[in-house]
Structure 1
Amino acid sequence: MFDLTDLGAWGDLPFFAHDLPDIAAQIDEDFLPPPTLTFAALKRTQPDETRVVILGQDPYHTPGKADGLAFSIPDGFGGRLDSLGNIFKEIQSDTGHARTKTGLQDWADQGVLLLNTALTVPPGQPKAHARLGWSTLVTQALKRLDDRPRAFILWGAPAQAYAKHLGPDHLILRAPHPSPLSVHRGFFGSRPFSKVNQWLIEQGQEPINWADP
């Protein structure tokens, strides 16, 4: 069902051999993003390349909107941006630079792992796959990334629950999810993009270009 090619170093996680078959058995073939894109975030950003993790909730449940990277939307989608639109507003407010490109592959290529706490969702049924066992993958991935200091942006309560798996050497930023349902509870004004870049500079690393590439 799932495309497990090109997982690279992530493919060594026990989840893929021990847990994924159980998840596959619990869902039918109508889910988002499509199985060729389910693990796109891991494939695009390998563990050694990961400098920043943005952890969300679950994929967009509108067909054609989820591309396997958390919060990313295929360029030319044409529908509502919802969470991503609010992220764009915060980028502009926080950094003074505009972001209009909805596909976030350029972030991933700079070392930003765009991961959700659930990697699939049925069309039109948000959170319906939240308890299928994806948490095992997320936990194992974060523990793999606990080997050196990294920046973690945890948006929403499901994401923030994973902070317990991270050691003390990371930058950990918590804020409400950028969804229209929760964005006004403290997402706006949280300034995660400038905070991460300042931390990266202090670590002797290049900052992330959050604006249009």
Structure 2
Amino acid sequence: MTDDDGALFPLPARPGAGPATAAYPFAAPAELGDVMHPQWAAALAPAAGTVHALAGQLAEQRREGREILPAPANILRVFEQPLDAVKVLIVGQDPYPTPGHPIGLSFAVDGSVRPLPRSLANIYKELQSDLGIPPAPHGDLSAWADQGVLLLNRVLTVEAGKAGSHRRKGWEQLTELAVRALVDRGGPLVAVLWGRDAQDLAPLLGAVPRVESAHPSPLSAARGFFGSRPFSRVNELLALQGAAPVDWRLPSSPGR
């Protein structure tokens, strides 16, 4: 089994993508439009070279026997929805480093994961305090993404068991470009910045309304996250821009 040089990620084959192989579904190096929504592909085109370089690095790490998270098909999942549909940006750091947990959406985990990560449990606790919504029995936040909530980690991959291991490898260039694309597009848009890493993006946001607080991590949640009412504040800011609110309730069963 060999990997095609320059291919992006081993995503499920799509009609018209070319002959599939066991390693990669594309006969030729994939274009961004093959692995994300066309609107995002156009906006992120200046970083295509970086994405291809990262793909090569990840393929090499896999050949060395390292486990890369999330699963390949979820690495760029955050860009599945149209750029035009995004109305809320929630910025995370990097994927959970536990195998089977990350699904390509910041703060979310696979629907089978128990117990939930403590940061996510704190998010659910604040959601109940803010809007009276009981915690979901799972950690799959796909229903938020489907409503235009971009759950964007600053770094999109991690080596299993090594939190932060893929920081400063190039993902930040791509995700910063994504934020700039949203700002250039204009509203309605609200940014949610939890913690210092997310708040480093504030200078890029210009006049975009922001909800900022401490991170929901158990190390910092009591220092400003709890009681910050981010969910109702987001909906209030959306209403001021003439946009429909987000329904923050999650289904009883995972989305995928």
Q: Report whether the alignment pairs 1:205 with 2:235.
A: no
Q: Partners in 2 of 1:112 and 1:39 — Cα distance?
A: 15
Aligned to 1:81: 117
Work out the percentage of aligned pairs sharing the same amino acid.
42
TM, length-normalised to structure 2: 0.78
Q: Report the alpha carbon displacement of residue 15 of structure 1 after superposing the two structures with TM.
A: 4.9
Give 1:14 deviation, angstroms.
Answer: 2.6
Q: CA deviation at 1:192?
A: 0.7
Q: 1:156 to 1:145 in 2, by over 3 A?
A: same
Q: Tell me how far apart the structure 2 counterparts of residues 140 and 18 of structure 1 sit (CA, whole Å).
A: 13
1:62 equivalent to 2:93? Answer no
Aligned residues of 1:57 and 1:156 also touching (Cα < 8 A): no
Letter of the aligned partner of 2:239 in structure 1? I
Q: Is 1:192 matched up with 2:230?
A: yes
Residue of structure 2 in register with 1:163 after alignment: 202
- d(CA) in 1 for partners of 2:249, 2:145: 13
Deviations 1:8-40 (A, max 9, x none): 211121355221122233341221101110011
Asked if residue 7 in structure 1 is aligned to residue 45 in structure 2, the reply is no
> Please, what is the CA RMSD of the aligned residues?
1.6
SS of 2:113 mapped into structure 1: coil
Deviation at 1:6, TM superposition (A): 4.4
For the 8 Å contact 1:152–1:173, the answer to whether it is kept is yes
Tell me the alpha carbon deviations over residues 52-77 of structure 1, each in whole angstroms, 9 at most, x when there is no partner. Answer: 00001111111111011111111121
User: Which runs of no fewer than 5 residues in structure 1 stay unpaired?
Assistant: none
Q: Which of residues 81, 94, 113 is equivalent to 2:130?
A: 94
Q: 2:163 pairs with 100, 118, 126, which one?
A: 126
* Aligned partner (choices 70, 77, 98) of residue 40 of structure 1: 77
Q: Which residues in structure 2 correspond to 1:110-125 (within 5 Å)?
A: 110-125=147-162
Aligned AA (1:156): G
Distance 2:225 2:235 in 1: 18
Q: Is the 8 A contact 1:56 1:155 kept in 2?
A: yes
Q: Describe the SS at the equivalent of 1:197.
A: helix
Whether the 8 Å contact between 1:54 and 1:113 is mirrored in structure 2 is yes
> 1 CA distance for matches of 2:161 and 2:213?
25
Measure, in 2, the Cα distance between the counterparts of 1:212 and 1:23: 33
Distance in structure 1 (CA, Å) of the matches to 2:249 and 2:73: 27
Letter in 1 for 2:232: S
> 2:54, 2:130 → 1: CA distance?
39
The reply to whether residue 152 of structure 1 matches residue 191 of structure 2 is: yes
Alpha-carbon distance in structure 2 between the residues aligned to 1:184 and 1:128: 27
Matched residues in 1 for 2:48 and 2:107: separation? 27
110-119 or 77-86, larger mean C-alpha shift = 77-86
SS at match of 2:98: coil
Alignment partners' CA distance in 2, 1:132 and 1:165 = 20
Q: Report the AA paired with residue 200 of structure 2.
A: A
Instruction: Note the C-alpha offset of 1:88.
Output: 0.1
Instruction: Deviation per CA, 1:90-136: give whole Å up to 9, x if none.
Output: 00011111131421111001100000011011111111111111111
Normalised to the residue count of structure 1, the TM-score between the two structures is: 0.93
Question: Does the 8 Å contact 2:119/2:218 carry over to 1?
Answer: yes
| Unaligned stretches of 5+ residues in structure 2 | 1-7, 12-31, 252-256
Counterpart AA for 2:76: F
Give, in whole Å, the separation in 2 of the partners of 1:151 and 1:62.
30
Aligned residues: 211
Give the AA of the match of 1:193.
F
Give the Cα–Cα distance (whole angstroms) in 2 for the partners of residues 74 and 25 of structure 1: 26
CA–CA distance in structure 2, aligned partners of residues 96 and 124 of structure 1: 35
Which amino acid is 2:93 matched to? Q
Greater RCO, CA 8 A, separation 6+? 1
